[in-house]
Amino acid sequence: MVPVRPPTETSPMLSELLLTEMTRLRLRDSMPLHRQLYEAMRRALLDGKLGAGDRLPSSRELTQDLKLSRNTVVAALNQLTVEGYLVSRVGSGTYVNDTLPRATTNQRSAHAPSHVARLSQRGTALSSTFCANQLEIQPFAPGVADFSAFPVALWQRLQNKHWRMTYPEMLDYSYSGGHAPLRRAVADYLRVFRSVPLEVEQVIITSGTQQSLELCAQLLADHGDTVWLEDPAYWGAVKAFMATGLRTHGIRVDEEGMAPTDTDQLHPPRLIYTTPSHQYPTGAVMSLPRRQQLLALARTHDAWILEDDYDSEFRFSGPPLSSLAGLDQDQRVLYLGSFSKVLYPGLKLGYLVVPKRLVASFRQAHYDLNRPGQMPLQAALAEFIEFGHFASCLRRARHSYAQRRQHLLEALQPCLERQAYISGAEQGLHLCLRLPTAIDDKALALRIGALGLVVRALSAYCIERTDARGLVIGYGYAALADIEKYGPILANAICTELDRLR
């Protein structure tokens, strides 16, 4: 039972503490305000700056002291209550849960170990840059597909069937690069739809693009080698390369995709990571001359190209684009795909197509490093594709995403009548709204976050360049009703910012 105590006397002190912590978090990355407040309070609780049983100032007082909106304060308090840090007592107020261990909530002894673990330099860099904990599932969160539409009942039936048919080998690690029928299904799909010339043996099933990237970095580059990435870039790739000790060198992206210059060649690459069919996050489609330039540069530098074809399935207009791997004459391109977007991210299955000369080494290393498995799951997925369910999911998703994109564009029309424009192709699950360089897009994303909407600042994806401003706005998870309801709020926040520049 929570003891009733008088309201804490430390309201101004608490506010000051919370504001300091929030400023620190804001400098570190672009968390939404309610998330910053939540984190700041959670830390105050864990550090014992708020003791078990303490009564918190009311949300009205916190709103005033912190100069935040009531919604932001209430969202943070609610989250802490749901997680059990706080308890709310009707008519009495909100208290620190007295089941939190005293050792952590009350005065910590000077000899007590710090709760901040000592990380390696790499660990510090990895955990203090753009991070996945910002990936809240919200209508406009980029990169999130509508997995709520996944045919769960059908999937369950297929899984049950394959579990019933399972034989002991299916429960073992998988040595051969994955379940053969799934590798065949992937190869058939890639040959027909992505013009990737390949044999089934070249397909290796992984636990998604992240693992494919790590494997490529581990096997094809040494510590300190340079990897060229698009600037701005997909943060997951940046992290995979940081984690494997590679030097990242950003190559500017323009409307024709990655644009390497003579100066870039002073940093010869061992790997080149690219998203040519729909650059993440600007949406640029790599032109044919650029594709040829990239292949020629890879030959000059004896480098490997990692082609991440992450959302090529969702192209809404224009002719289908063939892959870079399809143009590759000398087997330098490794092709990476994922089921995260078409099916659901937690499935954790993807594929890597490696040149024939790499097959044996990749299979062996994948087995030794990752101990891949999940064969019954892979068998169910193979049948899902074979029986046409994958194609139906794709058809449905393509139609629904095209509609969502159109609705979002309509909602953003007032911004497009000012100095904003959309870059990139009509494809995928997000769009990139480009803004004038005078706009602080990180601050704008934060302000939009305070309205309860998650979008991301384009500059947060930049490696070296400082001139890219915009917002990366998802629509994959946004139901039409949500776009209609929240789209104008989003547009209004952006227009207010644009109008300030006038």
Ligand X SMILES: Cc1ncc(COP(=O)(O)O)c(C=O)c1O
C-alpha to C-alpha distance for 277 and 261, rounded to whole angstroms:
21
Among 93, 245, 268, 345, binds ligand X (CB under 6 A): 345
Helices (H), 47-142: 59-66, 70-82, 102-105, 121-128
Q: How many CB atoms lie within 10 A of CB 451?
A: 17
Least distance from ligand X to the Cβ atom of residue 310, Å:
3
CA-nearest of 222, 202, 193, 156 to 376 is 156
Task: Encode 272-301 in three state secondary structure.
Answer: EEECCCCCCCCCCCCCHHHHHHHHHHHHHC
**Residue 241 sits in the site that holds ligand X (CB under 6 A):** no
- Rounded to the nearest whole angstrom, what is the least distance from the CB of residue 82 to ligand X in the complex? 26
Binding ligand X by CB under 6 A: which of 231, 308, 313, 441? 308
**Among residues 30, 138, 174, 210, the one that binds ligand X under rule CB under 6 A:** 210
Question: Site for ligand X (CB under 6 A): which residue of 277, 338, 374, 423?
Answer: 338
- Shortest distance in whole angstroms from residue 392 CB to ligand X: 21
Which C-beta is closer to ligand X: that of 342 or that of 450? 342
Side chain identity at 137, as an amino acid letter? I
Nearer to ligand X, 22 or 240 (CB): 240
Using the minimum distance from each CB to ligand X, give the nearer residue, 439 or 455: 455
Select the residue interacting with ligand X from 72, 105, 244, 275 (CB under 6 A).
Answer: 275
Residue 234 is a binding residue for ligand X (CB under 6 A): yes
Mask for 350-389, x = binds ligand X (CB under 6 A) = x---------------------------------------
Give how far Cα 132 sits from Cα of 55, 142, 143, 239, Å.
33, 12, 11, 11
Binding residue for ligand X, selected from 139, 208, 257, 260, defined by CB under 6 A: 208
Q: At what angle do helices 235-243 and 209-220 cross, to 10 degrees?
A: 40
* Among 280, 351, 390, 401, interactor with ligand X by CB under 6 A: 280
Q: Smallest gap, in angstroms, from Cβ of residue 4 to ligand X?
A: 48
Residue 276 in contact with ligand X, rule: CB under 6 A: no
Count the neighbouring beta carbons within 10 Å of the beta carbon of residue 109.
7
Which of 273, 310, 390, 461 is in the footprint of ligand X by CB under 6 A? 310
Instruction: State the pairing for strand pair 470-474/430-434.
Output: antiparallel
Task: Give the binding range for ligand X (CB under 6 A) out of 155-163, 179-187, 205-213, 388-396.
Answer: 205-213
- CB-wise, 72 or 279, nearer to ligand X? 279
DSSP letter assigned to residue 423: E
Nearer to ligand X among residue 216 and residue 491 (C-beta): 216
For ligand X, how many residues bind (rule: CB under 6 A)? 14
Q: Is 269 in the site for ligand X (CB under 6 A)?
A: no
Residue among 119 and 369 whose Cβ is closer to ligand X? 369
Please give the biggest Cα pair distance in the chain.
76
x/- binding map, residues 448-477, to ligand X, per CB under 6 A? ------------------------------
- State phi, psi for 59 to the nearest 5 degrees: -65, -30
Dihedral sign for Cα atoms in the order 412, 413, 415, 419: positive
Query: Which DSSP string do the residues of 212-235 spell out, in sequence order?
Result: HHHHHHHHH--TT-EEEEEES--H
Q: Which of 398, 389, 494, 481 is nearest to 445 (CA)?
A: 494
The stretches of 327-388 forming alpha helices (DSSP H) are: 359-370, 375-386
What radius of gyration do the chain's Cα atoms show?
25
| 189 touching ligand X, by CB under 6 A | no
30 versus 312: smaller Cβ distance to ligand X: 312
Full strand arrangement of the beta sheet holding 247-254 = 203-206, 350-353, 333-338, 304-308, 271-274, 226-231, 247-254, 257-258
Instruction: Restricting to residues 399-438, name those near ligand X by CB under 6 A.
Output: none
Residues binding ligand X (CB under 6 A)? 143, 208-210, 234, 236, 275, 280, 308, 310, 338, 340, 345, 350
